[in-house]
Amino acid sequence: MGEAKQRIVPTGFPGVFRSGDMLLTKSLAPGTKVYGERLFSQEGEEYREWVPDRSKLSAYLRRGGSRFPFRPDSHVLYLGASSGTTPSHVSDIVPQGRVYCVEISPRMFRDLVGVCERRPNMMPILGDATKLDDLAFLVERADVVYQDVAQRNQAGIFAKAMKRFSAPYGMLAVKARSEDVAREPMMIFHEAEVLLRKEGLTVLEIIDLEPFEKDHAMIVAGRP
């Protein structure tokens, strides 16, 4: 563990810190790395580097995203948790809340369980993001739906989750190549926006994640 070259200071977003251009979160599991990220100490606290080309949520902030719906006590339904990289940072951000981590791949789920074992506010769920009724009995509430799934109809899946759990806010990481490899990503992002509006959601922000993530955008939405 080292010390950051510049002082670690709050960003203005709850639970997110900065040292120069680097983003960090205060670790809820001190001494533990999730994906090889650097650890830093300051005044007895441990912070984890939040790498933007490993986390689309970090990339969103680095690209100037301004709609950050997380609070220290937020309950987050995370669809597409993979091995737990970004969910672990969300766990740091909502220390009094809960992160319901849904992952369909058994191989990724095994890694995810290992991350959750060190973090009391993370719940691993082996499940399908399209089968929301199967998840409902495990999810107490959802203040934020965060979705990062690589399949078609990403916006449709997201809209249904927002409605099913009555979430006030949501963040959708759109992977253009998962929808159609032959079409322009900007057109796919626009169509996702149109669908969300059609489903009654308010689109608050759309941020292209280049250069950290190619052909990806983050859409932040709310319920009117």
Which residue bears the tokens 């990481």? 173
The answer, yes or no, to whether residue 210 has pLDDT greater than 80, is yes
Rounded Cα distance, 177 and 158, in Å: 17
Confidence category of residue 181, pLDDT binned at 50, 70, 90: confident
The answer to whether residues 121 and 97 touch, using CB atoms and an 8 Å cutoff, is yes
DSSP state of 220: E
Cis peptide upstream of residue 211 (ω within 30 degrees of 0): yes
pLDDT of residue 147: 97
Neighbours of 43 (CB within 10 A): 6
**What's the distance, CA 171 to chain centroid?**
7
**Hey, which bits of the chain come out as E strands?**
9-10, 16-19, 22-26, 39-42, 45-49, 75-79, 98-103, 122-126, 144-147, 169-175, 202-208, 216-222
Q: Side chain identity at 209, as an amino acid letter?
A: L
Reported as a pLDDT band with limits 50, 70 and 90, residue 180 is: confident
Looking at the DSSP bridge assignments, the partners of residue 18 are 9, 23
The gap from C-alpha 167 to its chain's centroid, in whole angstroms, comes to 15
Model pLDDT for residues 66-109, shown as the tens digit of each residue: 999 999 999 999 999 999 999 999 999 999 999 999 999 999 99
Structural domains in the chain plus CATH codes = 9-50 (3.30.200.20), 57-222 (3.40.50.150)
pLDDT for 5 beyond 80: no
Q: Give residue 34's pLDDT.
A: 97
Quote the percentage of the chain above a pLDDT of 90. 89
What does the pLDDT read at residue 176?
A: 85
Q: Mean pLDDT over all residues of the chain?
A: 95
Report the predicted TM-score, pTM, of the whole model to 2 decimal places.
0.95
- Residue 161 has, within 13 A of its CA and on its CB side, a CA count of 35
Mean of pLDDT values over 155-171: 97
First-to-last alpha carbon distance for the chain, in angstroms, is 45
- pLDDT score, position 178: 81
Bridge partners (DSSP) of residue 123 are: 100
Residues making up the chain, counted from first to last: 224
Burial 120-131 (b: 16+ CB within 10 A, else e): ebbbbbebebee
| Letter string b/e over residues 184-218, b meaning 16 or more CB atoms within 10 A of that residue's CB | ebeebbeebbebbeeeebeeebbbbbeebbebbbb
